A and B are shown apart, each in its own frame.
Chain A
Amino acid sequence: MLEVALRHAWPGFALDVAFTAPEGVTALFGASGCGKSTVLAAVAGLLRPLAGRVALDGAVLLDTARGVVLPPERRRCGVVFQDARLFPHLSVAANLRYGLKRAPRDATGPGFEEVVELLGIAPLLGRRPLGLSGGERQRVALGRALLARPKLLLMDEPLAALDAPRRAEVLPFLARLRDVARLPILYVTHALEEVDALADTLVLLEAGQVIAAGPVEALAARADLPALARRRDAGALVPCTVLAQDPARGLTRLGFAGGELVAPLRPGLSPGGRLRVRIRARDLAVATEPPRGISMHNILPCTLLGIDPAGEVPEGVEVFLRLAVGATPLLARVTRDTVDRLALRPGMPLWALVKSVAFDHAAGSA
Chain B
Amino acid sequence: MMDWLGPEEWQAVRLSLGVAARSVLVSLVPAVLVAMTLARGRFPGRLLLDALVHLPLVVPPVVVGWGLLMLFGIRGPIGGPLNDWFGIRLVFTTEGAALATAVMSFPLIVRAVRLGLEGLDPGLEAAARTLGAGRLDRFLGITLPLMSPGILAGAVTAFAAGLGEFGAVITFASNIPGETQTLPLAIYSATQSPGGEAMAARLAGVSFALALAGLLLAELIGRRMHRALGRG
Contacts and interface: CB of A to CB of B under 8 A. Distances in A.
Interface of A: 44-46, 71-79, 81, 83, 85, 87-90, 98-99, 102-103, 128-130, 144-145, 148, 154
A46 B228 CA distance: 29
A79 B127 contact: yes
B166 to A, nearest CB: 39
Interface of B: 121, 123-124, 126-134, 137, 141-142, 145-146, 228-232
B127 A89 contact: no
A78 B145 CA distance: 23
B229 A103 contact: no
B131 to A, nearest CB: 4
A89 B232 CA distance: 11
B230 A130 contact: yes
Contacts of B228: 89
5 contacts: A78-B130, A85-B127, A89-B230, A103-B132, A129-B230
Contacts of B129: 45-46, 71-73
A98 B131 contact: yes
A83 B122 CA distance: 12
A23 B210 CA distance: 65
Contacts of B146: 88-89
Contact of A89 (B126, B132, B134, B229): B229
Contacts of B134: 73
Nearest to B126: A46
A75 B124 CA distance: 17
A68 to B, nearest CB: 18
A99 B141 CA distance: 12
Contacts of A73: 129-134
Contacts of B123: 81, 83, 85
Contact of A46 (B121, B130, B131, B142): B130
Contacts of A103: 132
A148 B229 contact: no
Given A89-B228, A89-B229, A148-B131, 16 more contacts: A71-B129, A72-B126, A73-B130, A77-B130, A83-B123, A85-B121, A87-B127, A88-B231, A90-B230, A99-B132, A102-B132, A102-B133, A102-B137, A103-B132, A145-B131, A148-B130
